[in-house]
Amino acid sequence: MAMRNIREDGDAILLKHSRPVTDFNRRLHTLLDDMRETLLAADGVGLAAPQVGILRRAVIVMDTNREELSPEEQIIELVNPQIVSADGEQTGQEGCLSVPGVYGIVTRPEHVVVKAQDRFGKPFTVEGTGLTARCFCHELDHLDGHLFTEIAQRILTPEELEEMNGEQE
Ligand code: NI
């Protein structure tokens, strides 16, 4: 496994549309393994392939609702994911590893059901609520070249950020 460079806002690749994965081969497995390592090192909750410069429909999301699992075990790999149903609404803070230091208020569904394939091409369905639902939506947006800053109601001010960081300590 190897760490990959996370592309940042201003890099044109983040605005591009990703192509479906057609080969569930070693190249895909290496990409997913590298994305896992990169996400864990960055202490994030989700990462999409275009964020590491690969325009393929693959994302990983941490199911943070499952606190009994280790961070590594919380990671869900989604290849060619599609949201098949969404309900409810949540409005809260959102950030992105490609937009470091910026947080905005974004409204997302409270609950989503996602259909995807695993790294071997086997189809499965997964559900997410709360932060996990937010993360599914955010990562899938990356596959169509969208960043959360486009849909944020507003971006948090430096004072709000400071307050937020204070709470984390
Ligand atoms: Ni992101």
Residue ranges covered by each domain of the chain: 12-168
Distance 155 CA to ligand 1 centre (A): 15
Mean pLDDT of the chain: 95
Q: How far is CA 131 from the centre of its chain?
A: 11
Quickly name the fold that domain 12-168 has.
Answer: Peptide Deformylase (3.90.45)
Q: How far is CA 117 from the centre of its chain?
A: 16
Distance 22 CA to ligand 1 centre (A): 23
Residues with Cβ within 8 Å of residue 4, at least 6 apart in sequence:
34, 35, 38, 52, 53
Residues 148 and 139: their CA atoms lie apart, in Å, by 10
Contact 83, 114 (CB under 8 A): yes
- Whether the predicted model's global pTM rises above the 0.85 cut: yes
Question: 162 catalytic, yes or no?
Answer: no
Tokens matching residue 165:
């960081």
Mean pLDDT, residues 55-74 taken together: 94
